[in-house]
Chains A and B, each alone.
Chain A
Amino acid sequence: MTLDLLIPSQLAHALLPDLLVMAGAMVLMLVAAWDRESAARQRRVGFGAMLVVVVAIAATVHMAVGGYTAAAGGVIAVDGYRWALDLIILLSALATIALSIEQNARDGILTAETHVLVLFAAAGMMMLAAGRDLMVIFLGIEIMSIAIYVLAGIDRRRARAAEASLKYFLLGAFATGFLLYGIALIYGATGSTQLNEIGAKIVHFKLYTHPMLLVGTGLLLIGMGFKVAAAPFHMWAPDVYEGSPTPVTAFMAAAVKAAAFATFLRIWYEGLYFLTASWVVPVSALALLTMFLGNVVALSQRNIKRMLAYSSVVHTGYLLVAIASSTALASTAMIFYLFAYGLATFGAFAIVMTLQPDGDAPALVSDYEGLWQTRPWLASAMAVYLLALLGFPIFGGIGFFAKWYLLQAALDSITGLVPLAVAIVLTSVISAGYYLQVVRAMFMSPRPEGAREPAPMGGMTRAVIGVTAVLILALGLFPSQLVRYSSENGLHQHPYSPTTGMGLPPGIRP
């Protein structure tokens, strides 16, 4: 069924999952304000938020199965790419809320608004997955970011959390300036904020080297670089990841990255595809720098949260290769990669949360020494996540295939990204240095004398760890369904025909 987005009722239908999340967030906000502050209220609102997310997941599946499409030229997209990313975002939100309920209970945080803010952030992310208009995209980024700034500092007793929140807020506001200026210049050059109109005007008026458009694109690239934590705009990531409550860190690493990349790819493919010749070199340079810098710095980290933060910077570098590839195949590789990366990230941070010492003490890699002797299942699960992030075959499960498809996308790209493919392989080898260091500490080092016994896990943390580990391994053995699903839901905006050379952006030779 084709939806006409200018009719409010049909627009509402196209936004069904998003509206459900927003409405649920508002109802829960009132519930949270109504009740007396207590640990029970925090749990109750948390379970309510999980229910909202489950309903929204059902609505997303309904929309995806229903085969809805939108008339061309709307402010939001109604396509499989959007639903696939919505599912990644909603599943991340579900896991975040589950972990948050138990983390808050452990830390004595009674703020029930934690879960409300996760819902608001998820709503903003879903607008990013949907947005086909730079205005909607900008609002989505801001809704997501403001909710995350607050979530980073939700534990007001810890100085580190306040530092993380403030740092993220200031740098985020700075990045917003770049983003907005870029959008304004692109609007000035093309007279539109809608991605497909921008693309059409670039071709129609031959704006390929228009200075205002190129400057706007550059500023937009810097703004997006901040949001996805690409080097050299990644400076905030380690401090913010370390200071935030661990479930929020997982949410930032998995869902914020997925949403930001979702809109990054859509802007670049639907709006700026025909400028490929201009942006492929800067984006590739950003990818290379991010991969190498992130990996080298991660090698020297002893704090596991900072190490995982740099590892997430490295994965930004890998995903930038998908942006630079500029093919439909790259968008399917990105969906697959974000799903795999999200699973491994949530699992790893759930374990970090379990083993986190109380208070402001840092979580060190040395805390994991000999974990195999006391908690063998936990150690095995952590090994699976780290190997998945590394892209190790079989034991890393789905992570291996994720990297494999990304490599394929780089090699099949129209822009000739063989050096980037080589860089992915090289930096993956470097990354073994710090991923395997943790594995070695867990399995081969003796448990130090007087080591702290890990706190007992809550049921939901256990569930998150179990489900992610099993999914990584199972989908690693049987990836065909997920591959088919990703390949059916990529962006198919500019079909390039190798025989006729049609649909190729100017300045690019096959």
Chain B
Amino acid sequence: MGNEFFPLFYGFHFYLFGLIALVSSILFVTRKSPVAAALWLINVMFCLAVLYILLDAQFIGAIQVLLYAGAIMVVFLFVVMLLNLGHPSELSDIRGKGGRLAAGFVGLALLAEIMVLARAEFPAKLTLPAAVTTEAAQGTAGIIGPIAAPLFREYLLAFELTSILLLTAIVGAVVIGKKREAGDAG
């Protein structure tokens, strides 16, 4: 792990991008215009990609940028623009006092939870054994190998089930969204 050699460099960048991600996500949920919100979300995705790269997971970082920031958010923006949802006045968010109170309460509960969890002690053996360091894993199989091998071995079933899940969602979306049938009366 690189942060043994450059603690200041890693620490600085972790906090810098962590802070940007945090601020961007707050802006993301508070913007009234969906386009602005989506753009802030892209910012969050980029910051997360940086954090992945700091963890020596360059492949995941690249995928994060390509898939989330690149593909999914672009499609999202297209939908927003095609449906002409870009005008903030047409949308209503949680304006009521009750809704805001509930949201604040949930946020506080999550914060309290994180603080409790941060104090929890973990058994030493749950952390990675010394032999399975990132360098050792990458030395033989490169950056993508350690992801690909389990994906097609231990997690083969989960991987294939994901494709069934997506197929089901596509079939469902087409059935719900397609043009009305000729036999449909109303």
Contacts and interface: CB of A to CB of B under 8 A. Distances in A.
Interface residues of B, number: 34
B128 to A, nearest CB: 9
Interface in B155-169: 155-158, 161-162, 164-165, 167-169
Contacts of B119: 211
Interface string B167-186: 11101101110001111111
B148 to A, nearest CB: 15
B158 A135 contact: yes
Nearest to B162: A139
A136 B165 CA distance: 11
Nearest to A39: B183
B132 interface: no
A38 to B, nearest CB: 9
B29 to A, nearest CB: 15
A112 to B, nearest CB: 10
Given A11-B156, A120-B164, A157 B117 contact: no
Contacts of B183: 37, 39, 108, 110
Contacts of A62: none
Interface in A31-90: 37, 39, 75-76
A142 interface: yes
A133 B156 CA distance: 12
A116 B184 contact: no
Interface residues of A, number: 49
A142 B169 CA distance: 10
28 contacts: A29-B171, A37-B181, A75-B157, A76-B157, A108-B183, A111-B181, A120-B167, A124-B164, A127-B161, A136-B157, A139-B158, A139-B161, A139-B164, A139-B165, A143-B161, A143-B168, A146-B165, A150-B176, A156-B176, A156-B180, A157-B185, A188-B117, A189-B122, A190-B126, A207-B123, A211-B116, A211-B117, A211-B119
Interface of A: 6, 8, 11, 15, 22, 26, 29, 37, 39, 75-76, 108, 110-111, 113, 116-117, 120, 123-124, 127, 133, 135-136, 139-140, 142-143, 146-147, 149-150, 153-154, 156-157, 165, 185, 188-191, 201, 205, 207, 210-212, 215
